[in-house]
Amino acid sequence: MPAAWYYGALMAGFAGLPGAFLLIFVFSTIIFIPWALLGYIASKTGASSMALVRPTFGIKGSKLPSVFYLIFGFGWGAVNVFLAAIAMSFIFSIWLGWPAFLQQGYQQYMVVSILVICFLQGAFAVAGHKIIKWMEWVAVISLIALGAYQTYLVLSNWGFLSLLDWTPPAEGLKAVFGSGIFSITYTITFALLIDLLIAYNWTWQFIGDFSRFAKSPRAGSLGPFIGANLAQYWWFFVGALGVVFLTVSAGAYNPAASDPSSTTTKLGFGWIAYIVILAATIATNAGNIYASALGMSNINPRHRMKIRKLLLISAFVIVPVALVPLLSPNFVGFYIFFLDFLGAIVVPLWTLTLVDYFFVKKRQYSDDIFKEKGGAYWYKNGWNAPAVATLILGTVIYWIIAFGLPRLREKYTAAIPTIIVISIVYYFWAGKRDKL
Distance (Å, whole) CA 283 – CA 80: 10
Residue 316: predicted pLDDT: 80
pLDDT band, very low/low/confident/very high, at 361 (cuts 50, 70, 90): very high
Higher pLDDT, 364 or 276: 364
Residue extents of the structural domains in the chain: 2-435
Taking residues 2-27, what's their average pLDDT?
87
CATH of domain 2-435: 1.10.4160.10
Q: Is the pLDDT at 420 greater than 90, yes or no?
A: yes
Q: Is the pLDDT at 436 greater than 60, yes or no?
A: no
Q: Is the pLDDT at 149 greater than 80, yes or no?
A: no
Residue 397: predicted pLDDT: 95
Q: Is the pLDDT at 119 greater than 90, yes or no?
A: no
Residue 29: predicted pLDDT: 96
Distance (Å, whole) CA 274 – CA 270: 7
Higher pLDDT, 127 or 8: 8
**Would the pTM of this model clear 0.75, i.e. be above it?**
yes
Q: Is the pLDDT at 79 greater than 60, yes or no?
A: yes
Distance (Å, whole) CA 13 – CA 56: 38
What does the pLDDT look like over 204-233, one tens digit per residue?
767 887 888 888 989 999 998 998 899 889
Of 178-182, 302-306, 341-345, 353-357, the range with the lowest mean pLDDT is 302-306
Angle between helices 271-299 and 307-322 (to 10 degrees): 120
**Complete DSSP assignment for 138-160:** HHHHHHHHHHHHHHHHHHHHH-H
Residue 383: predicted pLDDT: 93
Residue 173: predicted pLDDT: 76
